[in-house]
Amino acid sequence: MELEGKSAFLTGAATGIGRAVAELFAREGANVYVADINEEAGKLAETEIRALGLSVTFVRVDVTDEASVRDGLAQVGSEAGRLDCAVNCAAVTVQGARNRTGDVDVQTFDEILSVDLRGLFLSVKYEILQMGETGGSIVNVSSGSGVVGTRWNPSYVAAKHGVVGLSKAAALDYADKGIRVNTLVPGVTETPILAGIPKSVRDEIETQIPMRRLARPLEIANGALWLCSDRSSYVTGSMLIIDGGFTAQ
């Protein structure tokens, strides 16, 4: 049990990678909070994980709303008494993404940045305040599009590069305060975020991945577990890339 007795706040954990993190962390002994805007999927995740006899609570949180993020973390503080781990997965992207930079309207750019970067900043800020003197580990989920440029989605690429920078800045601010902050970089992973992508584009993506397949959510969640466990006790301001070799090319 890598996370016995620890509490974990996971944004965007109702579905996909975050859902896999929630179940894995709960199996490893954590008291898990699934913080997501999607109430239906969040409650379903809570029901399914509780049915395994594990400790999980759904909290409705909209990461674009400062009060919502603050209140979600205050609930963890009052119920669990402390926050040890946080994994920030909440994000949106443009579906069917054939959006070149000149085609993107400013409203779309603002919407993506408000969830994927501003929302992540708010999450990190209140997670740090909740961890306070007791310390902890924060994992921010970026993307291959946060490490190298990818076509047709400039808002997402900009936000995900911002996640890498914000993580390094926060890591330095708290390196001597017992709070570690790292970035997790998944490659293309089988989750609902891919729902709008046509099969022909998916096939094309697979041919570009050295391992010739998409990641499974659990393969990404395993990285989050390592970054939140004491096994990574000297790791901060770092980036863990799990992408089948994509960004090595």
Binding residue for ligand NAD, selected from 92, 147, 158, 221, defined by CB under 6 A: 92
Is 174 an active-site residue? no
Give dist(CA 185, CA 206) in Å, integer.
17
Asked if 236 touches ligand NAD (CB under 6 A), the answer is no
CB atoms within 10 A of CB 197: 16
Q: Tell the smallest beta-carbon distance from residue 194 to ligand NAD (Å).
A: 6
Gap between the Cα atoms of 96 and 12, Å rounded? 21
Instruction: Give yes or no for a contact between 226 and 232, defined as CB atoms under 8 angstroms apart.
Output: yes
Separation of alpha carbons 141 and 143, rounded Å: 7
Radius of gyration of the chain (CA): 17
Q: Give residues 30-89 in contact with ligand NAD (rule: CB under 6 A).
A: 36-38, 41, 61-64, 89
Our CB check for ligand NAD shows the closer of 108 and 132 to be 108
- CA 223 from chain center: how many Å? 11
Q: By C-beta, is 169 or 194 nearer to ligand NAD?
A: 194
Say which of 33, 156, 174, 234 is annotated catalytic: 156
Closest CB to ligand NAD among 137 and 191?
Answer: 191
Query: What is residue 103's DSSP assignment?
Result: G
Query: Considering only residues 11-30, where is the footprint of ligand NAD by CB under 6 A?
Result: 11-12, 14-18
Residue with tokens 């690429």: 157
- Rule CB under 6 A: which residues touch ligand NAD? 11-12, 14-18, 36-38, 41, 61-64, 89-92, 115, 119, 141, 143, 186, 188-189, 191-194
